[in-house]
Each structure stands twice: as C-alpha cells, then as structure tokens.
Amino acid sequence: MSEILDPLHIELAAALRNNDGQLGKVFTLLEEGKVTNRELAEGGGAANPGAAANLRVTVKAVLDGVLPKGPTVAAQARRSIGGLLRDNPELSPLGRAHLEDLRNKLEAIANDAEAIERESLDLERASISLESSLEKLPGVYVFTLPSFYRTVQKTDPDRYWLKIGKSDRAAGIRIGEQMRATGLPEDPWIARVYRHPVFDPKQLESHFHRLLTAAGHSRASGKHSGRDWYATNLEFLDAIGAALGCDTSENQSPEDFEAE
C-alpha cells in the first residue's frame, strides 16, 4: 500500500478507515503494520487468508488504482466501492469521481467473457483437485453451480446459493450421486470440505445448518430444490468452521491472492 500523501489519498483512507465492515477492519490492520493475509485473518479482519486477500484487492484499487484480473474478485471489489460511495455522501467531487471511475472499470472486468471463462476453468480444476484429495475423507462439503457462483441474492449482495451437506464417504462421490439423482444443469464446483476431530459428518452438518438458520441465512424452500441449499457466503461458513474447530480444505483460485 502506497504512502498516503495527497488530499485525495487522505480522504479515501478516511473512508476506508471508517467502514464498519471487514473492509474497514482489514485497512486498519494494514495501517497497524500487519503484512500477510494470514495476519489479517488472525487479527479479525476476515474469516480466512483468502478472504483477507480479496479485501486487500479493494484497498489497493481504492488507494493505488491497482485493479484485479479475476472477474469474481472484481465484482466483490465493485460492490465494496459501491458501499463506500453510499456510506460517504460527504466525499469531495474528486473523491466521488475517483470511486465511480473505479467502479466502472471493475464492472467491465467482472463482465469480461474471456476472463470469466479462464476463471471458470481455474475453479473447475481446483474443484477436481480438491475432490481427488478427499476421496477417502468424509466430512461436510460445500458446493455450488457456476451460474450460482456469479449470481448474488437480490436481497443481499454478499450472499450466494451454496449447498451444505454431509458425506459419509468421499465428498466427490456423494456429489456425483446427487447430480445423477437430481439432474443438475451444470457440474458443481466443490468449494469447501470441513472435518472435525470429534463430530461425525451428520453431527457437523447439523451444527452448520443450525447456525446458518440462527443467523438468518435463508434456506431454499422449493419442493424440488433440496433443503441443504442456503443463501450465504464462504466467509460466513469459514467463520462457523473456525468457531467449531474444523479442519478446512479450500477451493480457491490462485489469481489475485497474495503470498500469505
């Protein structure tokens, strides 16, 4: 992060500092000298290093004009910048123009067809790798469909449809069986597998479902949609996993993630 010297940087830094969400926490930790994504996560700025890295992308975009290449990260940064514009009506014309220009550039990256295709291939490869590595390890898995991954809920722009289920065998085999049984229109991406040293998969699944419901993360209600689909996000699921003491295996596209 560059030194904040001119009035525009001072104004933008103040907007970041005053943000009452994770973006503001990450920026404050960066100002305190935290260097790595792991330090930011352990300092309470994010649920995990990957989430911290994505928030750093927004900070770099706002202060340094450095834009991400990945469309999903660009979309997340665009929403965060939209929040800064909404929450800071007192911004100067220069500050507002700067953020609006960034938001437009990020919108273009988020909708770039070639970038979306490249990212999809990366995520698919990561999903296959995760599936293969967990062939003999049961647990609670999280998967989604490519179209769901890029479609946020209208009522909350930070939530997506994710399926949280249990596997008493391999997560990949269980998901394959579900695809054949339910006729999903796309191959799912495995995003997470959580395992616990004490809870068996059924118990762990129950804890996840209970905590998601208690937090108001809505559950799919359609007759044929399956009851394990929730409007939530990976950061919240990782926070549940950490609170329960789970071991977590992640599917993360390496693009835009800085060294931990």
How do residues 227-240 score in pLDDT, each as one tens digit? 788 989 888 898 89
The reply to whether 95 and 123 lie within a common domain is: no
What pLDDT, on the 0 to 100 scale, is given for residue 143? Answer: 86
Question: Looking at 111, 131, 153, which one is the last position of a domain?
Answer: 111
List the one residue out of 230, 87, 227 whose CA is nearest residue 159. Answer: 230
Q: Is 43 part of a structural domain of the chain?
A: yes
Planar angle of CA 65, 66, 67, nearest 5 degrees: 110
Q: Please tell me whether residues 103 and 202 are part of one structural domain.
A: no
CA geometry: angle 169, 173, 176, nearest 5 deg: 145
What band does 258 get if pLDDT is binned at 50, 70 and 90? very low
Mean pLDDT of the 142-153 span? 78
Domain end, chosen from 96, 111, 126, is at: 111
**Max Cα distance, the chain (Å):** 60
**Which structural domain range is residue 55 located in?**
7-111
- Position 168 in a domain: yes
Contact (CB, 8 A) for 152 and 160: yes
Give residue 259's pLDDT. Answer: 39
Quick one: pLDDT at residue 141?
87
Same domain, 129 and 226: yes
Residues 156 and 237 in one domain: yes
Q: Give domain status of residue 256, yes or no.
A: no
Helix or strand run (H / E) with residue 190: strand 189-195
Q: Tell me, yes or no, whether 257 lies in a domain.
A: no
192 and 91, same domain (yes or no): no
Residues 105 and 139 occupy one common structural domain: no
Question: Looking at the structure, do residues 154 and 223 belong to the same domain, yes or no?
Answer: yes
CA distance 182 to 189: 16
The reply to whether 194 and 71 lie within a common domain is: no
- Tell me which residue of 151, 143, 144, 159 sits closest to 217, measured CA to CA: 159
CB 146 within 8 A of CB 189: yes
| Same-domain check for residues 95 and 124 | no
Report percent pLDDT > 90 for the chain.
42
* 198 found inside a domain: yes
Tell me the two tokens of residue 185: 């229109």
Could you read off the pLDDT of 194-212 as tens digits, one per residue?
999 999 999 999 999 999 9
Domain ends where: 63, 79, 111? Answer: 111
* Complete DSSP assignment for 85-133: HHH-TT--HHHHHHHHHHHHHHHHHHT-HHHHHHHHHHHHHHHHHHHHH
Mean pLDDT computed over every residue of the chain: 83
260 assigned to some structural domain: no
Per the model's pLDDT, the better-predicted residue between 57 and 255 turns out to be 57
Considering the domain architecture, whether residues 78 and 167 belong to the same structural domain is answered as: no
Average pLDDT of the segment spanning 99-125: 90
In a domain, 229, yes or no: yes
131 and 101 share one domain: no
98/125 same-domain check: no
The answer to whether position 2 is within a domain reads no
The count of structural domains within the chain is: 2
- Residues 50-70: tens digit of each pLDDT: 788 889 999 999 999 999 988
